[in-house]
Copies of this chain bind each other. A is one copy, B any other.
Amino acid sequence: MHPLLEKKGFILDVDGVIGRGDKPIPQAVDAVNRLIEMGKKVVFVSNNSTRSRKIYMQRFKEFGVKIDEDQMFLTTYVTANHIKRTYGEAKVFTTGEPGLVEELELAGHEIVDYTEAEILVVGSNRGINFEILTKALRMCLDRSKIYIATNPDKVFPSEDGPVPGTGMLIGALYWMTDRMPDCICGKPERVIMEQALDYLELRPEDVVVVGDQIDVDVLAGKKIGSETLLVLSGVTTKENLNRMVEKFNAKPDFILEDLSELFR
């Protein structure tokens, strides 16, 4: 039996672990369902900043993963939740998409224009434009405003090639104002991982953090003091593994081809 099967909890990345874009990795999906049947506590953590949990549940259903909405920690939800826990229900201006707006409103926040907002929430937006960028710039220049970002990803590897991630907006604002977010919620930062641990009600040593990216998932796991499992079913491959370990100066505790190898 694989030693990681002694862990009580599994914190799993989505893309590159149980699917690639909207296509499932069937043997990895089976492995997740088997973990659940064994009584393991499972949550998913994703830096996706454009979709609500409601939208994402649809994908999980299609993949055939048997989990509930509250086992899903997307940065849309995590950010809304973080703001509520830290500042209470707030007046928010966001650069983000309807999926982020949905989670912010579900958490009780009010979406307002930038002049009335207390908090700027920066998240990726495929409908980004000059007006949104101008409003975010002006909020950043006002040091009395709180500035939160969903996730730090600079470039997202979409199916037809690289596209800008939320990090593009963080970089543009930093370049113009010398200001970085007061908090970034996504991996490899702590906020998303701590919300997942809280939900699991487990200690870091009782969970394993699983993902396909060293600079995102493995670093996030190390940050909370959990063991980490890198799967080679996504961004990191046999070919680039050594280069990635060196580049990001972080070594996963375990490496498997894909999640199903836990049971081989």
Contacts and interface: CB of A to CB of B under 8 A. Distances in A.
Contacts of A133: 128, 164, 168
How many copies the complex holds: the figure is 2
Interface string A115-156: 000000000011111100110011001000000000000110
A259 B128 CA distance: 41
Contact of A176 (B128, B134, B167): B167
Contacts of A154: 175-176
Contacts of A164: 130, 133-134, 137, 172, 176
Contact of A128 (B130, B162, B171): B130
B176 A175 contact: no
A174 B176 contact: no
Chain A interface main SS type: helix
B137 A162 contact: yes
B162 A138 contact: yes
Interface string A147-187: 00000001100000111110111111011110000000000
Contact of A161 (B138, B162, B165, B176): B138
Interface string A47-76: 000000000000000000000000000000
28 contacts: A125-B130, A126-B130, A128-B129, A128-B130, A128-B133, A129-B129, A130-B164, A133-B164, A134-B161, A134-B163, A137-B155, A137-B162, A137-B163, A138-B162, A154-B175, A155-B176, A164-B176, A167-B175, A168-B172, A168-B176, A170-B175, A171-B171, A171-B172, A171-B175, A171-B176, A172-B175, A174-B175, A175-B175
Interface of A: 125-130, 133-134, 137-138, 141, 154-155, 161-165, 167-172, 174-177
Top 6 nearest A-B pairs (CB, nearest first) are A171-B175, A172-B172, A126-B130, A154-B176, A134-B163, A168-B172
